[in-house]
Chain A
C-alpha cells in the first residue's frame, strides 16, 4: 500500500507534486521526491525553475500553487526528479518599487539562500559566461559523509594557537609541491608542516561560495586581472566554495572539505571559519540581483527611508541581521556548519553590524548575538568577533558578549606594534595587553581568552612588511594607493622595502622575533598570520585583496631561506604549549594567593621589583610565579630602547635557578633553545639585554 505522505496530490504538466513542508527552508530529500521551501514576505507568487546540471535553459518552470503557500513560505514536493543532476532556482513576482524597498523582477532566476552546493564557478579563475541566465546555481547536497568517530575537538580556548590562512594562498605557489594546489586537498597535504609549526587551529578566510570575478578588472598600468581574491563577499552562506576544491569540477567540494576537517581533527587541529554576515555580493543599487534582493529585499537588507542601502560594511549593502528572518538564517547557517562540517569555531567579519538594529542603531542586547551565544548546537564553538565595522562602530572591549564572545583585539595589535618600534608612552598599556587586557575585559567578567591577540592579520601588513615599510604601497590595487589603512604603526628600520644592508636586515629579523616572543608570552589566544613564520612579504601592500598572484601565494622557498625565523617561531610555540603559566584561564590577582612569596604576576624594570612606568620608558619586565601556575617561573625582559641595558633579575625561591630560553639579541643559534635544554644563566642576578631585544628566562 502506498504511503499517504508520498502520494502526489497535484500535477503540473508531467510533474507530480504535493504540498511541501515549510521547514526546514531550502531543499530536503523526501521519499521519491524533493521538498523545496522558500520564504518571501512580499512576493505575490513564486515559481520553481529546474535545470539539468550546466544546462543553458531550464527544463521546467513549476509555479507554486496558491494552496502550497503557508504564511510567507512557499513549499512544494516535486516527485521523480533526477536530483543528482539537478540545479534549481526561483522566480519571484511582486512589486518593483525601490523607493518602497521592493525589487521583485520575475525575469531573474534567484539562488536559494539555503543552497548547500552552488555551481557556476566550479573551478577557480575560469572566466564565467556572463550571458548565462542563472550565474550561481543551487544544487542538492547529500549528508552521507563517513565521519567515523570525528567530532569538534573542543580545545580549551587558552590552549589555542590560531593560524589565519587563505585556502588558495597556502598552496597555490608552484613551490608548495602539493598535488592539488590552492585547494582544501592541498591543505591536507601540508598538515605535517602545520604540526611541525605547532599551531592547533586554523582560521580559514571565507570559504563559502563567492565570486572571484565580482568587480574584476584589468589594472590599467600593470595589465593584471584584479579579482576578489580574499572572498569577503558572500554569494551563498551554506555552500563551500567549489573553486577551493580540486574536486569542485565534479561537484564534490562538500566531501573534500569534510575530508580536510576530519584529517585536521585527527592530528589535533581545530578549524575556525571566517564568516561574513554583514553584507552580500549583491552590492548596492547598481549591483547584480543574485538572491536576497529579488527574494525579499526589504527583509534581508537595511534600507534608508528612501529605499537606498545602508552601507555599514563599506561594500554597498548591509545585511539586516536583527530582523527575525535573517537572524534565523544566520543561526541555521552556523548550526549547519557546526553539525554537518564539525566546525570548531567562527570568526565574524565586521561583527558589530550583527548588533545593529534595522536602522543601523547599535543595540544594547542584540538578539542575534544573544541567540548565538546561547544556542545549544553552537555551545562549544568558539565565537570570535571582529568588533568594529566600516560605519565607525568600534566595540573592542565592549562587544555584547553574553559570556561567550571573544574579540580580535585591535588594541593589542596597535599597542604591541608601537612598543615594538620603540614608541614612548606604551609601557603602561603594554602591561594590560600582556595580561590578556584585563582593563578591557575583567570588569565585565570576561576572561583573558576573550582577547584574540594578534600583531598581523590578512588585513594589513605581513610581519615582514611591518618592519620593512613605513608606508603602504598599494598602487597595484588600482586605487591610486587610496585603499588600505594608514595607521599601520610600522617601521622600515632605515630603508623603505628591499635592502641589502646587513644591519637593517638583522634588525628586521630581530623585530620579527620580538613580535612572536611577545605574542606567545601574552595571556589570551595568540593568532599568527599565514607565512609570517617564514617572513612572507606582500611588497608593502597592506590591502592585497585583489591579487591572485605570487604577491599573495605563500612562497615555500622561504622555508629554506628563512629557516632561522621558522625555527624561532616553532620553538616559541612549543614553549607556550609547555608552560601553563602563559595560558591562564582567569585574570591575574596581583597578589600572593599561594604563600609563595611572589604575586602571580609582578612587574620589573632594569631594577628588579621596580618597573619604570614613565612616559619615556621603553623598558618592561615581568615575572610569572611558577607556584601559582603550577609551572616553572618565567621572567620576560623587554628592552625596546636603542641601547643595550642591564636588567637586575628578581631572585628565585631557594633551589631554583634561571635558565635562558630565548634572547632575540643573540645571533642564531643562541637566540633560542630547545625545551628542556635551556642553558643555565651564568650570572643569576642580572642580564644584559641588547637594544630592541627580548629575553625569556625559565626558573627551575
Chain B
C-alpha cells in the first residue's frame, strides 16, 4: 500500500489530506510534505486522516517532527482519524500536542 499526500493552503491554513498507509517505507513521503508546508507562513495545520487506513510508529515520529518543525505558534488538528489511530495517539501521549477532532 502506498501513501499519497495532497497539500492545500487557504488563508494561512494548510490542509494535508493523507490517503493510504503511513509505514516505514512511506513515512518519508509524509515528512517531505511536512517540510514543504513548514516553508510557508501558516497559522494552522490540518491533517485529514479520513482516508488513512494505518499509521505505524514511523508515522508517529513524523507527527513529532511536524510539531517540532511548525513550532508552538501553529496549531495542528487531526481530523477523520480512525478509532485505532486515535487510540494509539492517545496511548502514546500525542493528544497533548495536537487537537484530535
Interface of A with B (CB < 8 Å)? 82, 84-85, 142, 144-146, 148, 179-180, 185, 246-247, 250-252, 255-256, 258-259, 262-263
Contacts A85-B24, A146-B97, A250-B56 hold; do A259 and B91 have CB atoms under 8 A apart? yes
Contact count band on B: 10 to 19
Among B1-9, B11-19, B57-65, the one that faces the other chain is B57-65
Task: Give the residues from 56 to 97 in chain B that come closer than 8 angstroms, CB to CB, to chain A.
Answer: 56-58, 60-61, 64-65, 67-68, 87-88, 91-94, 96-97
Assess the A144–B24 pair: CB atoms within 8 A: no
- CB-defined contacts of A246 to chain B, threshold 8 Å: 91
Residue of A82, A144, A255 touching B93 (CB-CB under 8 A): A255
Assess the A144–B64 pair: CB atoms within 8 A: yes
Assess the B64–A185 pair: CB atoms within 8 A: no
Assess the B93–A146 pair: CB atoms within 8 A: yes
- CB-defined contacts of A250 to chain B, threshold 8 Å: 56-57, 88
Residue of B27, B56, B58, B96 touching A148 (CB-CB under 8 A): B96
Chain A: minimal CB distance from B76 (Å): 12
Q: Nearest 6 A-B pairs (CB), nearest first? A: A259-B93, A255-B92, A84-B24, A185-B91, A144-B64, A85-B24
Task: Give the residues from 31 to 56 in chain B that come closer than 8 angstroms, CB to CB, to chain A.
Answer: 56
CA distance A251 to B60 in the complex (A): 12
CA distance A263 to B64 in the complex (A): 18
Contacts A84-B24, A146-B64, A252-B60 hold; do A180 and B91 have CB atoms under 8 A apart? yes
Contacts A85-B24, A185-B91 hold; do A255 and B96 have CB atoms under 8 A apart? no
- CB-defined contacts of A262 to chain B, threshold 8 Å: 93, 96
Assess the A144–B92 pair: CB atoms within 8 A: no
Question: Which has the most chain B C-beta neighbours within 10 Å: A82, A251, A259?
Answer: A259
Assess the B88–A146 pair: CB atoms within 8 A: no
CA distance A85 to B15 in the complex (A): 29
Assess the A251–B94 pair: CB atoms within 8 A: no
Assess the B67–A252 pair: CB atoms within 8 A: no
- CB-defined contacts of A85 to chain B, threshold 8 Å: 24
- CB-defined contacts of B64 to chain A, threshold 8 Å: 144-146
CA distance A606 to B88 in the complex (A): 61
Assess the B24–A82 pair: CB atoms within 8 A: yes
Contacts A84-B57, A146-B64 hold; do A252 and B96 have CB atoms under 8 A apart? no
CA distance A625 to B80 in the complex (A): 62
- CB-defined contacts of A145 to chain B, threshold 8 Å: 64, 93
CA distance A146 to B57 in the complex (A): 14
- CB-defined contacts of A146 to chain B, threshold 8 Å: 64, 67, 93-94, 96-97
Residue of A82, A144, A256 touching B91 (CB-CB under 8 A): A256
- CB-defined contacts of B91 to chain A, threshold 8 Å: 180, 185, 246-247, 252, 255-256, 259
Residue of A82, A142, A247 touching B92 (CB-CB under 8 A): A247
- CB-defined contacts of B58 to chain A, threshold 8 Å: 84
What total of A-B pairs shows CB separation below 8 Å?
54
CA distance A113 to B92 in the complex (A): 25
- CB-defined contacts of A259 to chain B, threshold 8 Å: 91-93
Contacts A82-B24, A84-B24, A85-B24 hold; do A251 and B57 have CB atoms under 8 A apart? yes
- CB-defined contacts of B61 to chain A, threshold 8 Å: 142, 144
Chain B: minimal CB distance from A455 (Å): 35
CA distance A84 to B57 in the complex (A): 8
Q: Which residue of A lies closest to B27 (CB)?
A: A84
CA distance A142 to B24 in the complex (A): 14
Chain A: minimal CB distance from B89 (Å): 10
Q: Which residue of B lies closest to A86 (CB)?
A: B24
Chain A: minimal CB distance from B82 (Å): 14
Chain A: minimal CB distance from B91 (Å): 5
Q: Which residue of A lies closest to B56 (CB)?
A: A250
Q: Which residue of B lies closest to A246 (CB)?
A: B91
CA distance A651 to B91 in the complex (A): 56
Chain B: minimal CB distance from A22 (Å): 28
Taking A148-B96, A148-B97, A252-B88 as given, write out 17 further A-B residue pairs in contact, using a Cβ cutoff of 8 Å, ordered by the A residue number: A84-B27, A84-B58, A85-B24, A142-B61, A144-B65, A146-B64, A146-B67, A146-B96, A185-B91, A247-B91, A247-B92, A250-B88, A252-B60, A255-B60, A256-B91, A256-B92, A258-B92
CA distance A480 to B88 in the complex (A): 45
22 A-B contact pairs sorted by A residue (CB < 8 Å): A84-B24, A84-B27, A84-B57, A144-B68, A145-B64, A146-B64, A146-B67, A146-B94, A146-B97, A148-B97, A247-B92, A250-B56, A250-B88, A252-B92, A255-B60, A255-B91, A256-B92, A258-B92, A258-B93, A259-B92, A262-B96, A263-B93
- CB-defined contacts of B97 to chain A, threshold 8 Å: 146, 148
Chain A: minimal CB distance from B67 (Å): 6
CA distance A346 to B93 in the complex (A): 24
- CB-defined contacts of A148 to chain B, threshold 8 Å: 96-97
Q: Which residue of A lies closest to B24 (CB)?
A: A84
CA distance A250 to B27 in the complex (A): 15
Q: Which residue of B lies closest to A148 (CB)?
A: B96
CA distance A148 to B95 in the complex (A): 12
Chain A: minimal CB distance from B31 (Å): 12
Chain A: minimal CB distance from B73 (Å): 16
CA distance A85 to B97 in the complex (A): 26
- CB-defined contacts of A82 to chain B, threshold 8 Å: 24
CA distance A85 to B57 in the complex (A): 10
CA distance A376 to B64 in the complex (A): 29
CA distance A82 to B65 in the complex (A): 18
- CB-defined contacts of B65 to chain A, threshold 8 Å: 144
CA distance A247 to B94 in the complex (A): 13
CA distance A82 to B56 in the complex (A): 14
CA distance A262 to B57 in the complex (A): 19
Q: Which residue of B lies closest to A84 (CB)?
A: B24
CA distance A255 to B56 in the complex (A): 13
CA distance A85 to B23 in the complex (A): 10
Q: Which residue of A lies closest to B96 (CB)?
A: A148
Q: Which residue of A lies closest to B91 (CB)?
A: A185
Question: Which has the most chain B C-beta neighbours within 10 Å: A146, A185, A250?
Answer: A146
CA distance A82 to B58 in the complex (A): 11
CA distance A256 to B55 in the complex (A): 16
Chain B: minimal CB distance from A685 (Å): 57
- CB-defined contacts of A252 to chain B, threshold 8 Å: 57, 60, 88, 91-92
CA distance A179 to B67 in the complex (A): 28
- CB-defined contacts of B87 to chain A, threshold 8 Å: 179
Q: Which residue of B lies closest to A258 (CB)?
A: B93
CA distance A247 to B90 in the complex (A): 11
CA distance A158 to B13 in the complex (A): 51
Chain B: minimal CB distance from A326 (Å): 32
